[in-house]
Amino acid sequence: MITTAINQQSIAQSKEELKVLSAVETLRCAMVSADSIKLQEILSDRLSYGHSGGKVQTKNELIHSLTSGESDFVAIELSAQTIDMFEHTAVVRHFLSAATNDNGKPGSVKLAILLVWHNEKDAWKLIARQAVRL
């Protein structure tokens, strides 16, 4: 939800934190819209994307699952987001509540998420993600 990013921006401390917040929001929107172009841009080629059930996907596997409808996010809301900056790396934690329609089957999910972002050539790319069911 855009309001999540706006609320977080008000407490962000640095220009780089704002860029990371923007990257998180771009990822959220790209996942909901299954936008393969945005996903290609925001995800690192070396992505390790861990699901709450233990499945780990590469960049190409994740993009395929989102664009094929295998993993379909109808809506994603983020809350309680924190960012820790370490030079060219950012660790983002938040809670994710989502409405899903995986393979045409409606559902919902509540997760705690850990994202690891790396600044590559002045662009923040997601290099790792791990989810845990709440």
pLDDT digits (tens, 9 = 90+) for 7-22: 444 454 789 999 999 9
User: For 22-26, 29-33, 101-105, which range has the lowest pLDDT when averaged over its residues?
Assistant: 101-105
pLDDT tens-digit map of 61-115 = 999 999 999 999 999 999 999 999 999 999 999 999 999 999 999 999 999 999 9
Identify the H or E element spanning 103.
none
Determine the straight-line distance between the first and last CA of the chain, rounded to whole angstroms.
20
Domains and CATH numbers, the chain: 2-133 (3.10.450.50)
pTM of the entire structure? 0.88
What is the pLDDT at residue 2?
Answer: 33
Given this model, what pLDDT does residue 71 score? Answer: 93
pLDDT in the model for residue 11:
53
